[in-house]
Amino acid sequence: MRVRALAFRILNQLRHDRRTLALMLVAPVFLLTLVYFILADTVPVVNVAVINAPAGFEDRLEEQNVRGLRYSESEARRALEQGEVIATISISGGKSTIEVDGSNPTKAKVALAALEQAKMSSMLSRPDLKSEVNYVYGQEDLPSFDNFGATLIGFIIFFFVFLVSGISFLQERTSGTLEKLLSTPVRRWEIVVGYVLGFGLFTILQSFLISWYCVYVLKVMMIGSFALILLITLLTAMIALTLGILASTLANNEFQMIQFIPLIIVPQVFFSGLFDLPAGMQVVGYAMPLYYIADALTAVMIKGSGFAVIAGDLGIILACSVLFIILNTLLLKKYRRI
């Protein structure tokens, strides 16, 4: 009887805990759906800039599931720099010149294979035509860790800052410290900004340590400025910090805080650019902070881009941090109206 009574109590408790039910029922289905699209035999969208090539060359590329787009030489270089195409090709003077963005090795290999096949199909009378391949970004046979390293730096900082800040702020609430603060004349926004600055000092140290260790100890490919890497990781820590505090404001205990990890953190990994998703699902990534973090880190570390290129990503990250601070301030109303 006692065992049955205990079992019924647990069932009733779970039945009224909507967050736990969502974690057990909805989150696994959502994550399995994402994994399905990643591991399914989906053909990645590969665009190639065609500067000078025989008529029908684009049709040969289409047969290889690669989209050929006609560009002038200057337009092709701009498209390659902005990530609109993965490679460019120009055929003239008995030689084909191919420039490749090696920051995405999977798409780069698909593009190179398709270009060679299209070249042979279009110019059967010139089997001796040689190709000169230049890697504008990255390199041939880019090691996997160099390819994923930039995104992993952002994810590790984002994950640990989110977890530590969320649980720490939750402990402030459950221990009564936050309640005591709210009983003083201090305002809600001052509390939120104070916590952000307090935790921020430790996140600065963490960001520097992780960035320095990956670049100078693990020797991850690093083409751009280390100072820009520090700036990106600091903004990463800031947005993770404000998001962690926001999650802890919505949670009632540590267990509910942990429940946010598969719902908030894990999906961002899938949309960060590490995997080739269908075009329709890639749009969802634009709502994920980690997408812009990974894009900025990849641009600096692998492409050697400067501040002007990543300014848009940094602006979005900073705007999200400000938004989370505002939401945190508003949610504190349920504890006290100031």
pLDDT tens digits along 103-115 = 777 788 888 888 8
pLDDT interval class at 127 (50, 70, 90): low
User: What pLDDT sits at residue 26?
Assistant: 76
Comparing 289 with 101, the larger pLDDT belongs to 289
The terminus-to-terminus CA distance of the chain in angstroms comes to 50
Return the SS3 of 292: helix
Q: In this predicted model, what pLDDT tens digit does every residue of 174-232 receive, in sequence order?
A: 777 777 776 777 787 787 888 888 887 888 888 899 999 988 898 888 888 999 999 99
pTM value? 0.81
Question: How does residue 328 score in pLDDT terms, banded at 50, 70 and 90?
Answer: confident
SS3 112: helix
Mean pLDDT of 121-140: 69
Mean pLDDT of the chain: 81
Write down the residue that tokens 């079992």 correspond to: 7
What pLDDT is attached to residue 240? 92
Q: How confident is the model at residue 338 (pLDDT cuts 50, 70, 90)?
A: very low
**Measured distance CA(44)–CA(55) in Å, rounded:** 25
Phi-psi region of 9 (alpha: psi -120 to 50; beta: other; left: phi over 0): alpha
Tell me what pLDDT residue 42 has: 61
User: Phi and psi dihedrals of 304, rounded to 5?
Assistant: 70, 25
pLDDT in tens, 222-235: 888 999 999 999 99
- pLDDT value, residue 141: 72
Burial class from Cβ neighbours inside 10 Å (0-12, 13-18, 19+) for residue 337 reads: exposed
Q: Are 162 and 265 in contact (CB under 8 A)?
A: yes
Tell me the per-residue pLDDT of 8-65, one tens digit each, with 9 for 90 and over.
Answer: 777 777 677 776 777 777 777 877 887 777 766 566 678 888 887 777 777 788 877 7
- 265-283: pLDDT as tens digits: 888 888 887 777 766 677 7
